[in-house]
Amino acid sequence: MQLETPRLELMLPGDEAIPRIIAFYGKNAEHLLPWEPAPAPGFLTTAHWEERLARFRREQDDNVSVRLFLFGRGAGDSAPILGIVSFTRFFALPVKSAQLGYAVDREHEGQGLMSEAVQHAVAHVARARSLRRVTATYQVDNVRSARVLARAGFTVDRVIPRHLFTAGAWHDHTLVHRDFDAPRADST
């Protein structure tokens, strides 16, 4: 899957991007730490990402996840990674839902890039995978994430107490969803 927005290209890259993936996560470790579970030991190694990218490719082929890395549009083969958008926890019929996740490079925050990527990717993945619903959760005090989801048409369902362990503590998360036209009963 390869998507384009006015400013971005979104795709699952090949192994040649591993040094840039490691650079993205290394540079953004502190930026992500308050909001995401702490990475496992070995997260910033080539071996880990070879295994992980291979798994991401298999999962995409098997319709159980879509992981898209963000690159500047027309920035060339060695373009740095500007962020990620992921769709995981795919449920087949009779549920037909997936869960959205995302992060933007700290130096590219506040430019509207994540909203641009999320809005395009959600619409495309929902259509391509015949999803009825896309869900997301965000830590209740993550105001930037709340704004991304509100702008993308997500509706707040409820707060899930002590949902995720991040930065040494359990945090309450807000659950949101966006619905799409119901897929046909025979779609996969």
Ligand X SMILES: CC(C)(COP(=O)(O)OP(=O)(O)OC[C@H]1O[C@@H](n2cnc3c(N)ncnc32)[C@H](O)[C@@H]1OP(=O)(O)O)[C@@H](O)C(=O)NCCC(=O)NCCS
CB of 23 to ligand X, least distance (A): 16
Q: Which is nearer to ligand X, 26 or 110 (CB)?
A: 110
> Considering the rule CB under 6 A, would residue 31 count as an interface residue with ligand X?
yes
Query: With contacts defined by CB under 6 A, how many residues of the chain interact with ligand X?
Result: 19
Q: Report 91-150 residues binding ligand X (CB under 6 A).
A: 102-104, 109-115, 138, 142, 144-145, 147-148
| Least distance to ligand X, CB of residue 147, Å | 6
Q: What's 74's DSSP letter?
A: T
**Smallest separation, CB 37 to ligand X (Å):** 11
In the complex, the smallest distance separating the C-beta of residue 129 from ligand X, rounded to whole angstroms, is 21
The residue type at 25? Y
Contacts to ligand X from residues 42-101, by CB under 6 A: none
Nearer Cβ to ligand X (63/142): 142
For the beta sheet containing 2-4, the strands, ordered from the edge strand earlier in sequence to the opposite edge, are 2-4, 8-11, 66-72, 81-91, 97-104, 133-139, 169-179, 155-166
Q: Which of 32, 79, 140, 175 is the binder for ligand X (CB under 6 A)?
A: 32
Q: How many angstroms separate the CA atoms of 188 and 132, rounded?
A: 12
- How many Cβ atoms from other residues are within 10 Å of residue 94's Cβ? 7
Whether the CB-CB separation of 113 and 82 falls below 8 Å is answered with yes
| Residue closest to ligand X, measured at CB | 112
In angstroms, rounded to a whole number, what is the distance separating the alpha carbons of residues 181 and 120?
A: 17
Residue 29 sits at the vertex; the CA angle it makes with 122 and 41, to the nearest 5 degrees, is 105
Contact set with ligand X (CB under 6 A): 31-32, 35, 102-104, 109-115, 138, 142, 144-145, 147-148
